[in-house]
Amino acid sequence: MSKKVNIIVTQPPYGKEDAFSAIPLGSSQFAAGNEPSLIFVSGGVHSIVKGQKTGYGDAAVWFKDVPSVEAEITKNIESVSFFALDSDIEKRSISDSEIIPGIKKISLDELTDKILEADVNLVF
C-alpha cells in the first residue's frame, strides 16, 4: 500500500542544501511506490525561481559543475508533485513568469489539507 509523503522545504536554496537534498528523497519515495509531494514554503520558495546561477563563494566553485535545484526539479517533475505556498511567493515578490514550469501554487488551506491527508510529513 502506497503512502502519501510530504517533504516540506522551509529553507532557501543557498547556504544549506536542504532544498537540493529534499528532491532526491522525493524521487526515492516515488521509486518505493509512494506518492511524494515536495512543498516549498517560507524561504524555501526561493528555490522555485528559474534560471538561478549555482556558483558562489570561492572562485574555484564557479568552475565546477554545481548541480542546481532547478535541474533537479526538472529531472523529477514527472515523478514528484511540486508545490509552493502562494502567500510566501507573493511576500517575496516572485512573479508567475519566474516560477519553474510544473510547480503548482497552493493556498494555506490546501497546504493544511495536504498535511492532514498525508501518512508522513518531513520538514527540511
One pLDDT digit (tens) per residue for the chain, 124 residues: 899 999 999 998 877 778 888 999 999 999 999 999 999 999 999 999 998 876 555 555 555 566 688 989 999 999 999 999 999 999 999 999 999 999 999 999 999 999 999 999 999 8
In DSSP terms, 83 is beta-bridged to 39, 104
Residue type, 65: D
Residue type, 15: G
CATH of 4-123, one of 3.40.50.300, 1.10.10.60, 3.30.2020.30, 3.40.1260.10: 3.40.1260.10
SS3 label, residue 16: coil
In this prediction, residue 117 carries a pLDDT of: 97
- Cα–Cα dist 41/84, whole Å: 6
Threshold 0.75, pTM exceeds: yes
